[in-house]
Amino acid sequence: MRRWLRRRRMWFIGSGDGWPVAWRWAGFALVFALVGALGTIIAVQNQKLDALQSSTVSEFEVLKDQFAQAQQKLAHLQGENSVLRETLASQKDVVEQARLVNNTAESQQLADQAMLSELKRQLLVLESENAQLKTDLGFFEAVIPKGKGSTRQRVKTITAARIDPTHLQWRALIVQANKNPDEFKGELVFVVQGQLDGQPWQLNTRDAPTPVSLVQYVRIDGVIVVPEALQVESLTAQLRQSGKLISSATVKVKSK
C-alpha cells in the first residue's frame, strides 16, 4: 500500500526534479503544436513565394515580349529614319542645285541688266554725238557760201529766246566767206522791237555794242535786259565796223 501511494505520488509530483510527468507531456505536445504551426506557416509562405515567383516569371516574360516588340519598333523606326535621312540628303541636293540655278539665273539677270544699262548709256552717247554732228553739219552748211557776190563778213544766223520775264538770250554766227581772210574786228549792235503798254517800243544797244573778232567764223551769245511787261516781237543783229553797217539779220521772238 505504501509502495502504491509512493508511485502515485511520484507520478503527480515527478521523479525528483520537481516537474510532474503530465506537465512534461503537455510541454512536448505544445512543442509539437508549435512545430506543426511553424511548418504550416512555412508551407503557406512557400506556396505564396511559389505563386509570387510564378507571377514574377510571367510578368518578366510579358516585359521581355514587350521589350522585344519595342526593339523591333525601334529597328523599324531606325530604318525609316535612315530612309528619311537619305530622302533629306537627296532633297538637299535638289535644293542646292535649284539654288545654284537660281544664283546663276540671278547672276545672268544682273549681267543682262548691266549690259542693258551700258547699251542705253552708249545709245545716249551716240544720240548726243549724232545731235552734235547734226548741229556741226548745220553750222558748216551755214558757213559755206552758197553763191558769188556774198558779203565778206556777215551775220549768218541769229536766234533769240525769252529765258525769264526780264532777260532775252541771243546767239549769233558771224562768218567771213572769203578764202584765207584777214582777221576781222567789229561789233554787234542789237535792236529789240516790241509792244510796251500797248505802244510800239524799241531798244538799241549802240551805246553798249558787243565786240566781234574772227578770222573764218565765230559764234557769240549773250543776254539783253528788257522790261518785264515788254512783248518782244523781233531782234535784229547789226554787224558794224567803225560805225559802218556791214551786215544784219532779224529773227522773230515768240512770246511765252
Residue 177 identity (one-letter amino acid): A
Ramachandran bin of 90, using left for φ above 0, alpha for ψ from -120 to 50, beta for the remaining angles? alpha
Please, which pLDDT band fits residue 32 given cuts at 50, 70 and 90?
confident
Task: Express as a percent the part of the chain with pLDDT over 70.
Answer: 77
Q: Write out the three cell numbers for 226.
A: 528788257
How far is Cα 21 from Cα 38, in angstroms, rounded to an integer?
Answer: 26
Residue 18: what pLDDT? Answer: 47
Locus of grid cell 510527468: 21
The residues near 168 (Cβ < 8 Å, ≥ 6 apart) are 160, 161, 162, 192, 223, 224, 225, 226, 232, 235, 253
Check whether 20 has a pLDDT greater than 70: no
Dist CA 170 CA 238 (whole Å): 13
| Stretch (H or E) spanning 48 | helix 21-143
Q: What's the whole-model pTM score?
A: 0.44
d(CA 166, CA 224) in angstroms, rounded, equals 8
